[in-house]
Structure 1
C-alpha cells in the first residue's frame, strides 16, 4: 500500500491512531521498528538536530534532504511539519511536488506568517495569517499534488495566539472548505480544555489531529471519546536523545574513560543493524564478483596479551590500535578486500569489546585455562570449504594473504623464513623437508615438525599464525580432531601439538615468506607494528 494511502487511512479510521516524532533517518527507523504506523517529521526536532532555531533558519531544501533520508529508510508514511509552507502559494506548490517525488505522505502547514516562530515561544505576540490567503495556500497545495491520497493538513494556531474558540472554529471550517484533508488543532495549555471545547463544537465534521505535548497528563481515552482521529507525539525522541547525549558526554568527560558508559549505550552492532548492514551483505553476494565468496575465515582472538601489561587491562590485544585502527579491524578489512566476507571471530577476554558488523562472534568462555587450539575447536563448524585461519594478534602485508590463497595444497601454513632472534617469547619454529629457495617458484615444502623447543639456529623458519585449508583439508582437519580430541581439549594441546599429530598421516605444506608480518606480543612489537602496512 502506498505511504500516502496508509496515512489517509489512518485519518479516516474509526480508531484513534498515533504517529511519533523523528528527525533523521536513524530515529525514523527506530520509530518504525517500535511499531508506530506513521512518523511526524517535526520542524522543531529537525531544526534542533541541525543546530539551528525553529524559525525557518533551516531552509526548506535542507529539511527536504533530511526527510528524504527518513523516507528512504522506512516503509511507513511521514507527515512533514511544513511550518507555513516556506513562503506563499507558489512555494507551497513546489514543496508539494518535491515531497511527492521523495515519497513523503503528507504535509502540515500552520496559519502563521513566514518566517515562523515556534508556538511555545512568546506565542500570543505572534500574528496569524489572513484566512483567505491561507485558504489559497491550501488550494494551491491540493492542486499541485498528483497523488490523490497525498495529505494536506491545516494547523490552526488560534488558541496558541490567544484568539479563542470562535476564531479556532472559524479558521478550521474555512480550511476544511478550502480542501484540507484534516485539521490540526493546537493548544499550549497544561490541560486539554481548549481541545475538548473545540471537539464538542466541531461535531466530527472532519478529521482532527492533536499534539498533547503540554497537556500530556490527559488520559488518552478522553481523546477517543472526543472523536480525535490522530495523536502526534511531537518531539520526545529528540528530547530523549539530548538527555542521553548530555549524560553520556558528561560521564566520559569526567571519567576520561568509557568504563561507566559502555554497558549503558547501544552497541555498535545495533547501529549497523539499524543501518541495514545485513541487507548489504546479502546484496554483495548477489552483485559482487564471486572471487572469495566461497571462502571463509576464522580469527582466534580470545587471549588478553599479558605481556602488554596495562595496555590490555580493559581491552583484548586484538583491539589495540596500530596506525589508528584496531588489529582485528585491519585483518577483517584485508579479508574483505579480497572478497572474504564470511568471517568468524572467537572472543574470550573482554569479549564485549569486540563487536563488528557482518562478522559472526563465538565465545571461548574458558579462555583463561585454554589455548588457541581450544578456540579453534569452538569454531570447528566454521572449518568448511576453503577456510583461512589466523591468530587475532598478527599483522601482515596484504600480499602474504594473496600468496596463501594462491597455494593449491589442501593444508598450507605461512612460515617466515627469516627466523626470529633469540631472547624473545617462545615461538613456533619449524623443521621442513627444504629450506626456503627464492629462486624455485614451484617449490613444494612439507612441514616435518613445529615446536617452540626447536633451537633457533636449527629452525627453518617460524609459523606466523596464518594458515589455510581447502574443502578436502577441512575434512582432514575435522576427521583428525575427532581421533585426538580426548587429548587435545581443555588446554592440554597447543596448535603446534595438533599439527605434529596431524603429520603422522597427512602432509602439511609451507608457504615461505621473508618478513612482512608481526606477532604483537609486547610493547616492542606494538612499536614496530606501525611499519606493517
Structure 2
C-alpha cells in the first residue's frame, strides 16, 4: 500500500523555523518530522511514498521518494494537495498523512488493516497531549465521536469535555471506491470552495452524505507540531526521562 504525505504548506505559525524550509523538516528530538514519518512507514512495510510539496519543495528530496508539486499551495488547503495524487488514489488503496505529525509503525499497520473504504486513526487518550500543549484542552480540541467503530461527529467547536471522545490525528486510508466519493463531492464544489475546503470539513461533508468512515483507535504514541511551543513542550517532556504515553519513538 503506497503512502502520500501532504507537505505543501509553510506552517506560518512556526515563525522563523520555517523561513528556509518546509514545516515537515522542522527538527524534533534531533530529526526532521518527515524523517520520523519515513522511518515509521518503512517499519510498517510501506516502500512507495509520494510527498506533495509546495513551499520550498526543493528541500524535500530523499532517496526513493516521489515528489509532486502543488503549485497553488498558497491558495489551496490540504484537499488541494491531495488532488495532486488523484491518479494514485484512484488506482489502489493509499495511506495519507499530514506532514506535521509523527506516529508509530503500529498505527500504520492497524490503519492499513482496517475494514471499510475510508478509515482514519484517532487518539482515545488525547487529553494528556492537549494538556501539555494548551492551558485548557478546550482551547483547541474539537468534537469527535464514534459509534460502533464509525465516525459520527468531527471538527466542531467543543463546549465541554463530554463532546470529545478522541482526537483525529491526520492519518487516513482511502480505497479507490472512497476516493471516487471524494472526487464526486469535490467536483460539485465551486472553484473557491474547492480551494478552501480542508480535510476535516471534507470528512464532515462525507458524513452528511451518508458515507461511512471507519475509525481506528490508538492510545498515544504520536504528536503533532503546530507551533514552537509544541516543540518546546515535547522536548522538555522527553528530556524529563519519565515514560510518556505519547512518545512516538517505538515501532
TM-score for both structures, normalised by structure 2:
0.81
Structure 1 equivalent of residue 203 of structure 2: 499
- Report the secondary structure of 1:340's partner residue: coil
**Greater relative CO, 1 or 2 (CA 8 Å, sep 6+):** 2
What's the counterpart of residue 9 of structure 2? 303
Q: What SS is found at the alignment partner of 2:75?
A: coil
Structure 2 residue aligned with 1:447: 151
Aligned to 2:31: 325
Give, in whole Å, the separation in 2 of the partners of 1:424 and 1:321: 27
Q: Judge conservation of contact 1:302–1:346 (CA < 8 Å) in 2.
A: yes
Q: Which has the larger radius of gyration?
A: 1
SS of the residue corresponding to residue 201 of structure 2 reads helix
Task: Determine if contact 2:138/2:158 at 8 Å carries over to the other structure.
Answer: no
The one of 69, 72, 95 aligned to 1:388:
95
Q: Shift of residue 474 of structure 1?
A: 3.0
What CA RMSD, in Å, does the superposition of the two structures yield over aligned residues? Answer: 2.2
Q: What pairs up with 1:237-256 in 2 under 5 angstroms?
A: none
Partner SS state of residue 379, structure 1 = helix
Deviation at residue 426 of structure 1 after TM alignment: 3.6
- Please tell me whether the aligned partners of residues 426 and 452 of structure 1 are also in contact (alpha carbons under 8 angstroms): no
1:430 matched to 2:144: yes
- Aligned residue in 1 for 2:241: none
C-alpha contact (below 8 Å) 1:488/1:498 kept by paired residues = no
Checking the alignment, whether the CA contact within 8 Å between 2:144 and 2:164 is kept in structure 1 is yes
Determine whether 1:404 maps to 2:118: no
Of residues 220, 226, 231 in structure 2, which corresponds to 1:526?
231
Once residues 425 and 326 of structure 1 are traced to their aligned partners in structure 2, the CA distance between those partners, rounded to angstroms, is 27
Report the CA distance shift for 1:489/1:427 in structure 2 as closer, same or farther (over 3 A): farther
1:343 aligned partner: 49
Residue 463 of structure 1 and its aligned partner are, at CA, apart by 0.6
* Structure 1 runs, 4 residues or longer, greater than 6 Å off: none
Which position in structure 2 is the counterpart of 1:476?
Answer: 181
Q: Which of 199, 214, 218 pairs up with 1:509?
A: 214
The 1:526/1:456 distance shift into structure 2, 3 A limit, reads farther
Aligned to 1:230: none
Instruction: Specify the alignment match of 1:417 in structure 2.
Output: 124
Cα distance per residue 1:19-53 (max 9 Å; x no partner)? xxxxxxxxxxxxxxxxxxxxxxxxxxxxxxxxxxx
User: How far off is 1:518 after superposition?
Assistant: 0.3
Q: CA deviation at 1:508?
A: 0.6
Contact 1:386 1:474 in 2 (8 A): no
Mapped partners of 2:82, 2:181: distance in 1: 15
Deviation of residue 470 (structure 1)? 2.6
- Structure 2 SS opposite 1:489: helix
Q: 1:361 to 1:424 in 2, by over 3 A?
A: farther
Helix, strand or coil at the partner of 1:507: coil
Q: Secondary structure at the match of 1:497?
A: helix
Aligned match of 1:465 in 164, 167, 170?
Answer: 170
1:365 aligned onto 2:79: no
Question: CA 1:454–1:515 in structure 2 vs 1: closer, same or farther (change >3 Å)?
Answer: same
Partner residue of 1:376?
Answer: 82
- 2:51 alignment partner, SS class: strand
- Give unmatched runs, 5+ long, in structure 1: 1-294, 434-443
List per-residue Cα deviations over 1:108-158 (Å, max 9, x = no partner). Answer: xxxxxxxxxxxxxxxxxxxxxxxxxxxxxxxxxxxxxxxxxxxxxxxxxxx
Aligned length: 228
More strand by share: 2
Instruction: Quote the offset at 1:452 in angstroms.
Output: 4.5
Q: Are the equivalent residues in 2 in contact too, given 1:404–1:412 (CA < 8 A)?
A: yes
Describe the shift of the 1:496–1:377 C-alpha distance in structure 2 as closer, same or farther (beyond 3 A).
Answer: same
| CA shift for structure 1 position 428 | 4.7
